[in-house]
Amino acid sequence: MAFLPKNIQLKNGKSVLIRIAEISDAAALLKLIKNYLDDSPYIPKSTSEFHLTLQQEETWIQSFLDAPNSLLLVAEYENQLIGNIDLTGNKRRVMQHNALVGMGMLLEWRNQGLGTVLMQAAMDWAKSNPLLENLQLEVYAENLAGIKLYEKMGYKQCGIIPNLFKENGHYCDSIMMTLSLKKV
């Protein structure tokens, strides 16, 4: 399903291009993810655990291009990738109407409205996708800014997994959130 690229002006006055990731973005996307992983306390993976090769990243991008219920968008500023969001559609026939949301961005682009722009673009695409009916995500219970964003976008809390995350002896719950795209 098509996604038309969009130029969006953020709070900082800078214009950002939101577009579908292409195979040619693999190296830049790898670099982006490695850059934001260690600056993101609420992504449960560190750069030391992130070992995708260029070929694996290309395969990952292609998987989004091939799946009718999946989407991988990137945010670009002055030809540099600064953020991304993905909707990973479920492959099982009885659950293909669901997609899991993941998002990340460089530290210097946070609190500029980029998260809202990425979420809205992905949601608009999902709403027009005839397969998708629900979006789900998990968020650290301590990530108050993330929870506020997701609630603003219409997500509802639907469960808690206690102590899912553990860092240096500190536990944190995971909050499950869902967004219904279509009326049942």
> Could you report the per-residue pLDDT of 138-164, keeping only the tens digit for each?
999 999 999 999 999 999 999 999 999
What mean pLDDT value characterizes the chain? 95
Which pLDDT score, from 0 to 100, does residue 45 have?
Answer: 87
Two tokens at 51?
């070992």
CA atoms within 13 A on the CB side of 17: 11
Which pLDDT score, from 0 to 100, does residue 38 have?
Answer: 84
Predicted confidence band of residue 183 (pLDDT cuts 50, 70, 90): low
Which pLDDT score, from 0 to 100, does residue 84 have?
Answer: 98
Q: Which residue reads 């506020």 in tokens?
A: 148
Two tokens at 128?
């027009």
Helix 144-152 crosses helix 114-128 at what angle (to 10 degrees)?
Answer: 40
Parallel, antiparallel, or unpaired: how do β-strands 98-105 and 134-140 relate?
Answer: parallel
Any idea what DSSP says for residue 53? Answer: -
Predicted confidence band of residue 92 (pLDDT cuts 50, 70, 90): very high
> Could you tell me the strand order of the sheet in which 156-167 lies?
6-9, 15-20, 71-77, 80-89, 98-105, 134-140, 170-180, 156-167
Beta bridge partners of 7: 17
What's the Rg (C-alpha) of the chain? 16
Q: Which residue reads 């996604």 in tokens?
A: 3
**Single pTM value for the model:** 0.94
> Could you report the per-residue pLDDT of 37-65, keeping only the tens digit for each?
988 889 988 888 898 999 999 999 999 99
Domain-by-domain residue ranges, the chain? 6-180
| Segment 69-92 mean pLDDT | 97
Q: Of the candidates 141, 19, 128, 11, which has an alpha carbon nearest to the alpha carbon of residue 83?
A: 19
Task: Assign domain 6-180 to its CATH superfamily.
Answer: Gcn5-related N-acetyltransferase (GNAT) (3.40.630.30)
